[in-house]
Structure formats: C-alpha cells, structure tokens
Amino acid sequence: MRRLIALIFSLLALSAGAETKPPKGVDATLVSETGGISAGKKFTVALKLRHHEKFHTYWENPGVAGVPTKIVWQLPEGFSAGPIQWPYPEKTMMAVHPVHGYERDVMLLVDITPPAEIPSAKVTLQATATWMACADGCYPGKTSLSLELPVSSESGVDETFSKARQEIPRALEDWDAKLLSAVDAEEIRFRLTPADPGSTLPGDLYFFSSDGQVSSDQPQHVEQKDGSYEITVRRSEFGPKGKATLPGVLLSKSPLGKDGPRFATIEAR
C-alpha cells in the first residue's frame, strides 16, 4: 500500500509539465451557466470533464489511491470562488484497488461572486485545473483555462447546469444516522433509520466516506434490522483520527425515500 501511495506522489511530481502535451484520459473545459454577469450577483461556472473510454478521474476522497481533481483560480480583483460542488461518486478500480471517482462525464460546479461594482464591460476568469486520469495506467493532467464573460443584465442560461445540480447529493431529510462504534475503532458501525419506519427500505447500499475515515478497498456489510440499516465498514489506517462523526455520501440502486434520489449526504453522530 505504501508503495502505491509513493507511486501516486511520483505521478503528481510529473504533473508540472503535463500541460505541454494533450491531456490523456479526459477533456477539460471551463463553461458558464450564464452568457453574461452582473455586479454583485453570484453566478455558477463548471469544470466540465469528458472521460475517454475506460478512463476515470477522482472524487474529493479518492479512497486508497488516486488524486482528487483540483481547481486553482486566478480571478479579477474583487471576485471570489466557492468550493467544488461534487457530484455523487461511483465505485471504480485503479488496478486491483477499489476507489471512488467518476467514469461518467461530470460537471464540477463552482459559484463565483463578483464585487458590487465591475468597472469593465467584460471580465476574464482564469483557472488551472489538475487531475489524475486512470485506466490501465494513470496519467496526471494539468491545463490552464480561461472564460471571458460580458457584464450584462441580459443573458441566456445553459440548461445542462440544471441536470448537473441534480447529481449533487443533498441531506436525507428526517433520516436518523447514529454512530454505534467508539472513536477510532478499527471497525466502524452506524445505523440509518428512515423517517417513516414502515417505508420500503432501499436496496444495495454503499457508503462513500468524504473525509477518508473509511477504507475503500475493504468490503462493507449492510444488514436490515427492525426497519433500519446497520452498516459496518473498515477504518482506513491513513484516515483522520479522533473524529466523533462520520460524514459521507450514501448511494443506492433504488430511491432513498418516496420519489427521492438514489444518493444523499449523511453524517452519523
């Protein structure tokens, strides 16, 4: 495992020169939800990742291997960028290691807040994006992107952003998530109880740890018990210590609740 991590860092060290060649494994573009912006009015842009066949990139917590996609912004004076709004992840493989990432094409949304006054008629947003794209091998990617937008109160809206927002996990309303194991226990157990105890429980659950407490290459045990789920996972030896909560994303093959999505954020306490 330590040799695998050393390999990842070696690949990262090579990424400084990665943008001199066409990126392998993924095409990255910077797009805006609106065709123009207004002073003081927040708007949304996205790093759009189109994966080549058999390739994947990584979620905010990749698991036992991999590197999450990052965006470093160079914005005009007075502008600020929020964090990446991560779509729900997928289970995928890096060699023989189960990891958390994206095989499907995704849009990584970021909110941009402009200042109360914009002195120019147009602005240019610049960003440096880095990622790791893996298939049979892994290839670090790095590219400089720019997006020019007019300062205008009238602009069209890119409807693909609405679809992208539907892939961002939200909290499970009225579900109870209780941590059953002790802090730093090697085996982590937690219980999920739906708001309606009589409701049909979704099937085939998988938990993605967002802060790295859970190992991605160990099996998860899910047991239905008295209208609840009890989920047992293995703690990662590289994860944070002393945590009294367990945040992450729950993914199911069926809706979580009536007419709900198949994915949601939870935080067991």
List, in sequence order, every residue forming a beta bridge with 124; answer none if it has no partner.
Answer: 148
Specify the CATH number of the domain 2-165. 2.60.40.680
Task: Please give the mean pLDDT across all residues of the chain.
Answer: 90
Of 108-117, 183-192, 256-265, minimum mean pLDDT range = 256-265
Please determine, for residue 5, whether its predicted confidence score (pLDDT) is greater than 70: no
| Fold (CATH) for 176-268 | Immunoglobulin-like (2.60.40)
The amino acid sitting at 196 is: D
C-alpha distance across the termini of the chain, in Å: 30
Look at 2-11, 71-80, 105-114, 124-133 and tell me which has the smallest mean pLDDT. 2-11
Chain centroid offset of residue 172 CA = 17
Q: Please report which confidence band the pLDDT of residue 261 belongs to, taking 50, 70 and 90 as the band edges.
A: confident
- Predicted confidence (pLDDT) at residue 180 exceeds the cutoff of 60: yes
Which residues of the chain form CATH 2.60.40.680?
A: 2-165
Give pTM, 2 decimals.
0.90
E strands, 78-186, where? 80-81, 90-94, 97-102, 106-113, 122-134, 138-150, 176-179
* Window from 175-179, 199-203, 255-259 with minimum mean pLDDT: 199-203
pLDDT 10s digits, 191-232: 999 877 666 667 789 999 999 999 999 999 999 888 899 999
Q: Is 162 helix (H, G, I), strand (E, B) or coil?
A: helix
The arithmetic mean of pLDDT across residues 51-70, rounded, is 97
For residue 68, the model assigns a pLDDT of 98
Per residue, the 3-state secondary structure of the chain, as one string, reads CHHHHHHHHHHHHHHHHHHHCCCCCEEEEEEECECCECCCCCEEEEEEEEECCCCEEEEEEEECCCCCCEEEEECCCCCEECCCECCCCEEEEECCEEEEEECCCEEEEEEEECCCCCCCCEEEEEEEEEEEEECCCEEEEEEEEEEEEEECCCCCECCHHHHHHCCCCCECCCCEEEECCCCCCCEEEEEEECCCCCCCCCCCCEEEECCCCECCCCCCEEEEECCEEEEEEEECCCCCCCCCCEEEEEECCCCCCCCCCCEEEEEEC
Tens of pLDDT, residue by residue over 95-148, are 999 999 999 999 999 999 999 999 999 999 999 999 999 998 999 999 999 999
Rounded to whole angstroms, the Cα distance separating 190 from 232 reads 7
